[in-house]
Amino acid sequence: MADPSLFWLAGAVLLVTAGVATSLLPHRRAHAEQRRTAWSAARAAIDSAAVSRDAAPGRVPEAERLLTRAESLAGRRGGVDAARAAAEHARQADRLWREHR
Amino acid sequence: MTAGRYRRLAEPLRWALLGLAVLVLVVFLVAQRQQGIDVSYGRSPASTAGVDTDGTGTSDRATVPSVDEMTALVAAAPVVRLPGSVAYWNEQRVREVAGDTRILVAPPGLDKDERERVRDVENATIRVIGTEVSGGFYQASSDRLPAWRAQFATGDVTDLLIALITTLRKESTPADRDELRWREPSGPELNTVLTDLRATGRHIAPGATLTDVPETAARNAFPDGAWYVALPVQRYGEPLPRYGPALSARFPDQPIVVMYGLWIEYHGPGAADFAELAGASFYGQFANLLSRTDYPQRNVLGVYLDRVTDIRYAGLFERPLPYRPADPLRVALPALPWLFAGCVAAFMVLSARSLRRPEGRPGSRRDTAPTRLAGLTALAVEVSLLTDARSNPALTRGIVKLQAARSAWEEKLPARHVRTLLDEAAAELDDTARQVGIASYRPDNYLRGRLS
């Protein structure tokens, strides 16, 4: 064996690496999943709102404004918070168009 | 079932292994700091330091007059004894070889400058500092036990003087003559010593400079304990009381150390094995130092006991070594790196296990999403034949939600999210069915009908 201290150093480095990996990776993975989930929900809400808009008998400027903002948020592809905001805007717009008839 | 228990066990085990690895690492590092560089088997615990020069004991240090005064003294008399001198010799034997030799005798324990001053007295042929005899470029020294005994027990330097004088005069040196005489100690003397030894294990005669026996050195040298008899330097020319053999005769199993001044003798079990060797190696190394200094007996005894310990540990005489229990840390030390490596490896494996993408969330037996998705899609297709402008938007929204649910399921997003989207789609289709007015197309009824 070369140098015992190298042995210990390598072991310690491995330990730290394993510790960091096991605590960081699941965290990041969960974060990414959360983000994709939020955007999935947001896109569903936006599509649903678009259907409601096409079906609505007249124009609803408030709803159009909300949907535009939701679409622009979706176009920028932000984080979880942006996705939640976009979904909330889209749902509001959807409700406005449905109530309009 | 077993897999579940295994997974529950794996996590605490992982952290336990990490803790163990860290503990091992810490133990190793601490041991590194404590561990000396050299490792040896059966090393003697004796201190390797020389004579302890601290507390030399003489409160009034010996001094000598100035060089001029000493030169004048030497010019006036062939033999000059400065105050505090301890060296004596057989004057008749010396006179036979001396001629016009002039001898300056100085006390022991002089410091370096004072010794220089004594050496600077140029008209003195021979200088005796303590019992160190030198002259010209020469210094006389003994190499036999009787000579050292005479020198350190009584301050007898006869043989040294004769050897040095004849060497300086380029004459042949006569053979050494051991003039030390012994006598049996008287009954009262022996009784006094025995009383002290029985009480405390040591007898310190008036005038002896032994204050106490060095504990550690004594325990190492004589694990079963020994008796110590300390006598002052004996008067030159008088016979020495032979305490060692007298005490040994009465207590044959008792190790006894007898000191006459700086002369140390051992009597008792094993004396024939090592007493001479210990004495010879001790005085062979330290005679020069001891002859010109006046260390107290305690310091000298400590070094002698260390030497005895060294000889015991050298195993020269098959004396059993004292038992030394194995240090568990030292025994475990070679295994620690492997233990550490094992812990690291196990921790890595368990960590990798926990990193693996958890299987069977979507697509497991409990996942009802595909069935529901298929049922709702079929319902949407069937109901699409019946819808009109009023109910179309709800149907379209339902289909949009179904598509979102399907892509979410395909992307393996959380089952809860897929279920939410399916719920929304079902709500839209429920609206559609109510608007169309056919109760059997309501999702709950339809799906129940499909399943049965």
What proportion of chain B, given as a percentage, has pLDDT over 70? 87
- The CA-CA-CA angle for residues B210, B211, B214, to 5°, reads 85
The answer as to whether A42 is a domain residue is yes
Total residue count of chain A as it appears in this document: 101
Burial class (CB in 10 A: 0-12, 13-18, 19+), B385: exposed
> How far apart are the CA of A3 and the nearest CA of chain B, in angstroms?
12
CA dist., res. B103 & res. B84, Å (int)? 15
The complex's ipTM works out to 0.82
Q: Check whether B319 has a pLDDT greater than 60.
A: no
Confidence band for B42, pLDDT divided at 50, 70 and 90? low
Asked if the C-beta of B438 comes within 8 angstroms of chain A's C-beta atoms, the answer is no
Asked if A19 and B18 come within 8 Å (Cβ–Cβ), the reply is: yes
Instruction: Give chain A's domain count.
Output: 1
In A, minimum Cα distance to B337 occurs at A8
Q: How far apart are CA B256 and CA B243, in angstroms?
A: 9
pLDDT per position as a tens digit, B230-269: 999 888 888 999 998 889 888 888 999 999 999 999 998 8
Q: How far apart are CA B208 and CA B259, in angstroms?
A: 9
Measured over the CA atoms of residue B434, residue B437, residue B439 and residue B443, the dihedral's sign is negative
Strand, coil or helix: what is B100? coil
Give the pLDDT of residue A23. Answer: 81
Tell me, what's the pLDDT at B2? 55
Rg (CA), chain B: 49
Nearest residue of chain A to residue B391 (CA atoms): A55
**Which residues is B126 bridged to in the sheet?**
B103
CB B282 within 8 A of CB B299: no
**Beta-strand (E) ranges in B130-187?**
132-135, 138-140, 182-183
Contacts of B196 (CB under 8 A, 6+ apart): B202, B203, B204
With respect to residue A20, please indicate whether it lies within any of the assigned structural domains. Answer: no
Q: Is the pLDDT reported for residue B161 higher than 50?
A: yes
Instruction: State how far Cα A39 lies from the chain centre.
Output: 4
**Model confidence pLDDT, tens digit, residues B169-204:** 888 888 888 888 889 888 898 899 999 999 998 899
Chain A residues touching residue B388 (CB < 8 angstroms): none
B23 backbone φψ class: left, alpha, beta (φ>0; ψ -120 to 50): alpha
Q: Do B424 and A75 contact (CB within 8 A), yes or no?
A: no
Say yes or no for a CB contact (<8 Å) between A18 and B348: yes
Contact between B144 and B276 under an 8 Å Cβ cutoff? The reply is no
Are A70 and A90 spatial neighbours (Cβ–Cβ below 8 Å)?
yes
Give the pLDDT score at B27: 84
DSSP structure string for A76-93 = HT--HHHHHHHHHHHHHH
Residue A41 with chain B: CB contacts under 8 Å: 417, 420-421
Q: Is the pLDDT at B364 greater than 60, yes or no?
A: no
Contact (CB, 8 A) for B184 and B241? yes
Q: Are A70 and A91 in contact (CB under 8 A)?
A: no
Token couple for B112: 């370096």
* Domain span at A95: 31-100
Best of A47, A95, A98 to disrupt the B interface (most B CBs within 10 Å) is: A47
Q: Which residues of B are less than 8 Å from A11 in CB distance?
A: 21, 25, 340-341, 344
- Partners of residue A44 in chain B, C-beta under 8 Å: 400-401, 404-405, 421, 424
Strands (E) located in B60-102: 79-81
Which of B29, B349, B355 to substitute to test the interface with A, most A CBs within 10 Å? B355
pLDDT for res A55: 83
**How confident is residue B59, by pLDDT bands cut at 50, 70 and 90?**
very low
Tens-place pLDDT, residues B390-446:
788 888 999 999 999 999 988 888 888 899 999 999 998 898 888 888 888 888 888
Residue of chain A whose Cα is closest to the Cα of B393: A55
- B299-313 residues labelled b (16+ CB within 10 A) or e (exposed): bbbbbbbbbbbbbbb
Q: Helix B336-355 to helix B2-34 angle, to the nearest 10 degrees?
A: 150
Contacts of B336 in chain A (CB under 8 A): none
* Identity of residue B73: L
CA-only gyration radius of chain A, Å: 24
Average pLDDT, chain B: 83
Nearest CA in chain B to A33: B413
Contact by Cβ (8 Å): B414, A38: no
Q: Is residue A65 part of a domain?
A: yes
- CA-CA distance, B94 to B79, in Å (whole number)? 11
- Determine the average pLDDT of the residues in B141-159: 89
For residue A12, being part of any structural domain is answered with no
Test B355 with A44 for CB contact under 8 angstroms: no
| Alpha carbon of B28: minimum distance to chain A alpha carbons (Å) | 9
Q: What does the DSSP 8-state code read for residue B422?
A: H
Residue type, B159: D
State the DSSP H helix or E strand holding residue B282, giving kind and residue range, or none if neither.
helix B271-292
Residue A73 CA to residue B296 CA, distance in Å, equals: 96
Q: What is the mean pLDDT of residues A36-63?
A: 88
Q: Is residue A18 part of a domain?
A: no
Domain assignment present for residue A13? The answer is no
What pLDDT is attached to residue B57? 45
Is the CB of residue B364 less than 8 Å from the CB of residue B21?
A: no
Q: For residue B63, what is the DSSP state?
A: -
Burial label, B98 (beta-carbon count in 10 A; 0-12, 13-18, 19+): buried
Does the residue A3 lie in any domain? no
Give me the DSSP letters along A20-46. Answer: HHHHHHHHHHHHHHHHHHHHHHHHHHH
* A4 found inside a domain: no
The answer, yes or no, to whether residue B54 has pLDDT greater than 70, is no
